[in-house]
Amino acid sequence: MRYDVRGAFDISGKIIFPNIEFRLQSADDELWNNIIMRAGLRNYLMQFKNMYAGRDAENIADVIRRHIIPNPFLDKSADFDTVRKGLYCGGCGRFDLENRKYHLVCESCGSKETKETHIIRAISDYKALFLNEKLTKRRFQEFIDYQVSRKTVFLLLNKYCNRHMNGSGSYYTFKYRSFEDAYNQSERLWRYKDYPAE
Ligand SMILES: [Zn+2]
């Protein structure tokens, strides 16, 4: 590409991992300065919004544009109205769950997961599915089809998310990188365990 522009310029950049399913673990903190994960991509790109570096930059941008490879993956945000609502079994993925006091039991495979586990998974799913849709209490309850009480949902949203004020309302952002992250790092609110199917 440098040859196409015939100009002298330095190339610096970051490695971007756009796949929402991608997980990366590293003990090297330096690494995080050089990579952008999907969740941070939007903010990363926003910082260039008002940058302008003259005609040379425009030429370079034009060359880059000509080298763009079409994205073979679906990168659109899901449509909230058409996604299936409700919680599903972490073992087999089916939506038929029996509601107990602190657990939801899968009617297909018998796996028994706490409501807390289900809510963490739902928050993580919501974040992955709806890139431009803010997570509000009302939206989230609709997303999980009201299968967990309002009070428990609020408690868990406040535990696993940061709350942001937005005019007269508020919305939440997941504190963790992924479901696994939240699942492994958090102290459980209640002392109930998950029982995978045998
Ligand atoms: Zn199941």
Domains in the chain, start-ordered, CATH in brackets? 2-66 (no CATH), 97-185 (1.10.10.10)
Q: Give the tens place of pLDDT for each residue, 30-46.
A: 888 888 888 888 888 88
DSSP codes, the chain? -HHHHTS-------EEE--TT-----S-GGGGGTEEEHHHHHHHHHTTTT---HHHHHHHHHHHHHTPPPP-S--SPPPTTTSPPS---TTT----EEE-SSEEEETTT--EEEHHHHHHHHHHHHHHH-SSS-B-HHHHHHHTTT-S-HHHHHHHHHHHEEEEEETTEEEEEESSSSHHHHHHHSPPSSS---B---
Report the separation in Å between the CA atom of 196 and the middle of ligand 1, taken as the mean of its atom positions. 9
Report the separation in Å between the CA atom of 197 and the middle of ligand 1, taken as the mean of its atom positions. 7
pLDDT confidence of residue 87: 97
Token pair of 4, please? 């196409």
- Average pLDDT on 178-192 reads 86
What is the average pLDDT value for the chain, to the nearest integer? 86
Report the separation in Å between the CA atom of 113 and the middle of ligand 1, taken as the mean of its atom positions. 10
Torsion angle, alpha carbons of 108, 112, 116, 121, to 10: -40
Confidence of residue 6 (pLDDT cuts 50, 70, 90): low
Report the separation in Å between the CA atom of 105 and the middle of ligand 1, taken as the mean of its atom positions. 8
pLDDT at 135 > cutoff 80? yes
Report the separation in Å between the CA atom of 131 and the middle of ligand 1, taken as the mean of its atom positions. 27
Report the separation in Å between the CA atom of 90 and the middle of ligand 1, taken as the mean of its atom positions. 7
CB 124: neighbour CB atoms within 10 A? 21
Token pair of 112, please? 């028994």
**CB neighbour list of residue 126: distance below 8 Å, 6 or more residues apart:** 133, 135, 140, 143
Tokens 């807390």 locate to 116
Report the separation in Å between the CA atom of 31 and the middle of ligand 1, taken as the mean of its atom positions. 38
Report the separation in Å between the CA atom of 112 and the middle of ligand 1, taken as the mean of its atom positions. 8
Report the separation in Å between the CA atom of 87 and the middle of ligand 1, taken as the mean of its atom positions. 11
